[in-house]
Amino acid sequence: MSESYVFEELDCDEPTNEQTRFKRLQHVVSGQWKNILIGLLSQTLYATFLVLLTYFLTKGRVYETEIVTSSTFPALPSTSSKADSTSASTTTLLTPAPSNINTCVFGFTYINGKCWRLFTDPQTRENADSVCMSYGGSTLFSIRNEQENNAIFDFVSNSSVDYFWTGLICKGNTISSCIWDKESGSADGYDNFSDDYPDVAIGECVYFITTGSEAGKWKSGSCNPTMSFICELPPTIQDNNCENNYNNHCYLRYDLSYTVAQSQKFCRSICGNLVSITSANENRYVQSIYIGGGYITLGAVVPNVNIIYWMDGSPATYNNIQHYTNGTCLFLNLAWDSTDHWYTVDCAEESWFLCKRSTGANYIC
């Protein structure tokens, strides 16, 4: 549709003035040929530079992955298992992602780049957080600016809710002692506390007021009363073939006991990688896929406690290693709210695993 429109526009561009335009062009060329030549040359050089840069970056990356794979993982057993029979090199990305990038799952509503859902069944702060967790690992909502403050106010305006839990907790009487949910980050940049709040003497939990003279303001208080609450998820790209769709990625669960190398090879065969986790909220999401305890393999190589190489190339923006042994592979403890979330293991250990890949593309492997 848009293509034909462009062609039409080109065709209709003053067809009768062809000669005039040619003369004008001639004039420009004869007067400015030096500048035009220099311009063309620099454009060509620039393009060449970009092509070379891309080439070396890509090459460097492949090289890195090869080193990690060959030096760190134990060799695969030669008996061909299900994972071994499919070759990773035949994977093809067929079509680009569709345009529907702002989808909300679990019945959440898309507002201003976030997905929100109001729960009017009153809960204590702690139970409210657990309910959010059971809806795709969502968190109690956060507000980072005045626009979001107004948006959340509008969002609840049609319900008969007078106040509700926010995702903010204050450990002291200053704004910088207030932290938003597990994604952390303090409320330093923006807050709309009522006068004389936060007040940790009354309580640490922060709620939002929707009625009366203080509508739109926040107060802190005890975490024990029950009230309504709003859970928040990041929007994601729509993907009808993805059961676990979070933040533009699909998480594919395999309850098979494989070694780290075997499971990564399996994930490659379906155009993914062993799961990477780059934020506290993603960690929460991955945990929410499983109910009960146990552990799964993460797609990382950990030469020491401060260095994490994710197999899918994700940056190591989040480190939740609580227990370091002399193994260099990484497991996630699935117990909800356990303090022992990630721990290193020998890479020959076997475990269930999750594969992770981008949502919204049609994969053929």
Ligand X SMILES: *[C@@H]1O[C@H](CO)[C@@H](O)[C@H](O)[C@H]1NC(C)=O
Q: Interface residues with ligand X (CB under 6 A)?
A: 146, 149, 154-155, 157-158, 192, 215-217, 325-326
Distances (CA, A) of 239 to 94, 95, 99, 289, 360: 14, 13, 11, 17, 5
Close Cβ partners of 359 (under 8 Å, ≥ 6 residues apart): 97, 236, 237, 238, 239, 242, 245, 248, 249, 250
The residue among 91 and 149 lying less far from ligand X, judged by its C-beta, is: 149
Distances (CA, A) of 145 to 142, 215, 357: 10, 16, 32
CA distance 314 to 308: 10
The residue among 235 and 360 lying less far from ligand X, judged by its C-beta, is: 235
For residues 171, 174, 180 and 186, what is the CA-based torsion angle, rounded to 10 degrees?
Answer: -120
Name which of 104, 106, 166 is nearest 136 in CA terms. 106
Tell me the closest approach of the beta carbon of residue 227 to ligand X, in angstroms.
Answer: 18
Tell me the closest approach of the beta carbon of residue 326 to ligand X, in angstroms.
Answer: 4
The residue among 159 and 174 lying less far from ligand X, judged by its C-beta, is: 159
Tell me the closest approach of the beta carbon of residue 180 to ligand X, in angstroms.
Answer: 15
CA distance 111 to 72: 45
Q: Name the closest residue to ligand X (Cβ).
A: 216
CA distance 137 to 288: 5
The residue among 73 and 246 lying less far from ligand X, judged by its C-beta, is: 73
Tell me the closest approach of the beta carbon of residue 228 to ligand X, in angstroms.
Answer: 15
Cα Dmax for the chain: 83
The residue among 166 and 283 lying less far from ligand X, judged by its C-beta, is: 166
Tell me the closest approach of the beta carbon of residue 59 to ligand X, in angstroms.
Answer: 35
The residue among 122 and 216 lying less far from ligand X, judged by its C-beta, is: 216
Tell me the closest approach of the beta carbon of residue 214 to ligand X, in angstroms.
Answer: 8
Name which of 125, 137, 327, 131 is nearest 247 in CA terms. 137
The residue among 57 and 75 lying less far from ligand X, judged by its C-beta, is: 75
Tell me the closest approach of the beta carbon of residue 101 to ligand X, in angstroms.
Answer: 22
264 within 8 A of 312, measured Cβ to Cβ: no
117 within 8 A of 107, measured Cβ to Cβ: yes
The residue among 220 and 283 lying less far from ligand X, judged by its C-beta, is: 220
Tell me the closest approach of the beta carbon of residue 154 to ligand X, in angstroms.
Answer: 5
